[in-house]
Amino acid sequence: MRALAEFIMRGRKQAILVVAGAAALPLMFWLSAAAGSLVLLRRGVNDAIGIIAWALLPALGWWYFGEPRTLMVLLGALGLALVLRSSVSWTRVLMISVALGLLYGLVLGAVFREPITAMAVELQKLMPQVMGGVYSQLADDERARLGAMVAPVLTGLIAALLQLVSVLSLMLGRYWQAALYNPGGFGSEFRALKLPPALAFGLLAAMLLGPNLGLELAMLTPICSVPLAIAGLALVHGLAKQGGLAGFWLVGLYVSLLLFMQLIYPLLVVLAIVDSLIDFRGRKARKNGAGPANGEG
């Protein structure tokens, strides 16, 4: 991956080739977004805009043929890159990503309303089997409300996935930038990521209360979970670094996340919320005797 980053930064033609070429290929929009983020983070808007414009051409072509994800993720990741470049704050990036996820949800609801509605109808048919006896005990109005929430939640899940891809594309671009110009910088940034209590509990409140404020706001639940899950991953990485654990354990975490998503993902969300109050990494550092002088003096 470092070799690809070096190729992108070798010159304007090389950057255009990767950014535009990846945008033109099916399911490679994340690479285009990551490459564009790298160029923007390193060179700034004025130098990057001429390169990114070439990626917009195939992205607009995909949109014309009914595939908006390429353009959405590309513009979303670049927008987050601007926030990171100006603020150097991953916390701010994650919070802006919530607004980005909501925007994705609105676009998906407009472009894919019919397919999402059809999927929601099929999922509603499976509810009696999935929920078992619990579904039969619900009142008619509760069943109707539950059925009406399926489409917004499904839209939110898809939007949250695109939101996550946008953030991960930016992270890849930032990792490339650090690998080329500041080795180890991205790792330090990511491991230090911790959401303040007000933001963490605000996201939790939006997740829990959103469906009660309106059916369409049910999409807030998956969208608001993304920053918390990423903060949970940052916590695990930070504790692994402080504990001197081998990379094998982190690989095991990601494999478990893929295999047991329903269990590990909520656990990461809970860890991020608890860490916003307890600060596990700070406690461990103080316990190990790391003070303001980093052990010196």
**Residue 208 structural domain:** 192-286
The pLDDT value given to residue 291:
45
Give the pLDDT band (50/70/90) at residue 289. low
197-253 tens-digit pLDDT: 999 999 999 999 887 887 778 899 999 999 999 999 999 999 988 888 767 788 888
Q: Examine the domain organization and report whether 116 and 75 are in the same domain.
A: yes
Q: Examine the domain organization and report whether 37 and 98 are in the same domain.
A: yes
Q: Examine the domain organization and report whether 116 and 200 are in the same domain.
A: no
Q: Examine the domain organization and report whether 208 and 128 are in the same domain.
A: no
Q: Examine the domain organization and report whether 205 and 84 are in the same domain.
A: no
Contact between 72 and 162 under an 8 Å Cβ cutoff? The reply is: yes
Q: Examine the domain organization and report whether 54 and 176 are in the same domain.
A: yes
Q: Examine the domain organization and report whether 162 and 200 are in the same domain.
A: no
Asked if residue 297 belongs to a domain, the reply is no
Asked if residue 51 belongs to a domain, the reply is yes
Q: Which of 143, 168, 190 is the last residue of a domain?
A: 190
Q: How far apart are CA 192 and CA 186, in angstroms?
A: 10
Q: Which of 190, 208, 228 is the last residue of a domain?
A: 190
Q: Examine the domain organization and report whether 13 and 155 are in the same domain.
A: yes
106-153 tens-digit pLDDT: 998 888 888 888 888 888 777 777 776 676 777 777 777 777 788 888
Residue bearing tokens 């397919």 = 115
Domain count, the chain: 2
162-210 tens-digit pLDDT: 999 999 999 999 999 999 999 989 999 999 999 999 999 999 999 998 8
Asked if residue 215 belongs to a domain, the reply is yes
Asked if residue 70 belongs to a domain, the reply is yes
Both tokens of 289, joined, read 């005797």
Q: How far apart are CA 113 and CA 104, in angstroms?
A: 13
Q: Examine the domain organization and report whether 186 and 176 are in the same domain.
A: yes
Contact between 257 and 269 under an 8 Å Cβ cutoff? The reply is: no
Asked if residue 120 belongs to a domain, the reply is yes
Q: Examine the domain organization and report whether 3 and 138 are in the same domain.
A: yes
Q: Examine the domain organization and report whether 169 and 250 are in the same domain.
A: no
Q: How far apart are CA 124 and CA 198, in angstroms?
A: 36
Query: Mean pLDDT over all residues of the chain?
Result: 88
Contact between 245 and 191 under an 8 Å Cβ cutoff? The reply is: no
Q: Examine the domain organization and report whether 151 and 25 are in the same domain.
A: yes
